[in-house]
Amino acid sequence: MATLQPHVDRYAILAFERQLHAYDVIGEASWWVNLDTGTIVFERELEMGAGLLGTEAAGTWVWGWANPGGFPEPVVAAGRAAGDYGREHDLPTLYEPESVLSDDVSLDRIGLVASGALGLPATYTGPLDEDARILLALDHPALALPPPDPLRTVTVISAVLQAGCVSDWAAALAAYAEQRTLDGVEVELDDLGRLAAIRSPPG
């Protein structure tokens, strides 16, 4: 069975960039989501489109389209699209109704892959109770990424490094250079292919 890791590597930097930008827009705001209308409202009365990707609880990931409660098709459409990607790449986690959580399968890793593979403006994770979380796909014009900035790119890649989710840094950096750009950023890998240094030289 294929692992999510190569897909996490491919999309981690771009997904982190989107999430950091979303944080700049939303901040630490409280939220309320209506999955019948597909909207989420943050405390500053900022309303965005919201799709249900899935939930994580009791050691299991469940896709929104497989939720027993049932939700309107537009609300779970992004999750179904992730399933199409999963079938194309032989990733059962992305198309089977539910999966047992593991080192490879988690809400956060699924969110990274879905964000990049589907071109989602951002994803949002929130608690449902003490041991459950929800993963939403967000849509709003304010979530569009600004033009690339080398200093911001260094910040983003440093955050990815700290998260420890990338296994193949050469592949991750090559993918991001294709998706956005690494212009103005210098990156060094060590003999084992690990990220050794990253900087944006002056001028």
Residues 9 and 105 in one domain: yes
Q: Which tokens in the block code for residue 195?
A: 């990220």
Do residue 123 and residue 167 come from a single domain? no
The closest of 181, 113, 172 to 153, measured between CA atoms, is 181
Do 48 and 130 belong to one domain?
Answer: yes
Query: Buried (b) or exposed (e) across 119-133, using 16+ Cβ within 10 A?
Result: ebbbbbeeeeeeeeb
With 70 as the cut, is the pLDDT of residue 198 above it?
yes
pLDDT of 69 reads 77
Rounded distance between C-alpha atoms, residue 40 and residue 25, angstroms: 14
- Amino acid found at 179: Q
Q: Pick from 117, 143, 169: which residue ends a domain?
A: 143
Contact assessment for residue 52 and residue 136, using Cβ atoms and an 8 Å cutoff: yes
Q: Which residues of 25-59 are buried (b: 16+ CB within 10 A; e: fewer)?
A: bbeeeeeebebeebebbbeeeeebbbbbbbbbbee
Q: What is the mean pLDDT of residues 1-23?
A: 96
The domain of 104 spans: 5-143
Comparing CA positions, the residue from 114, 180, 156, 200 lying closest to residue 24 is 156
Mean pLDDT of 181-190: 96
Neighbours of 145 (CB within 10 A): 15
114-162 residue pLDDT tens = 999 999 999 999 998 878 999 999 999 999 999 999 999 999 999 999 9
> Which residues make beta-bridge pairs with 42?
31, 46
Check whether residue 88 and residue 160 sit in a common domain: no
Same domain (yes/no): 187, 133: no
Residues 188 and 130 in one domain: no
SS3 14: helix
What is the average pLDDT across 86-103? 97
Cα–Cα distance list, 56 to 27, 33, 199 (Å):
23, 17, 36
Q: What is the total count of domains within the chain? A: 2
Distance CA 137, CA 143 (A): 11
Residues 6+ apart with CB under 8 A from 197: 186, 187, 188
Are 126 and 189 in the same domain?
A: no
Q: State pTM to two decimals.
A: 0.94
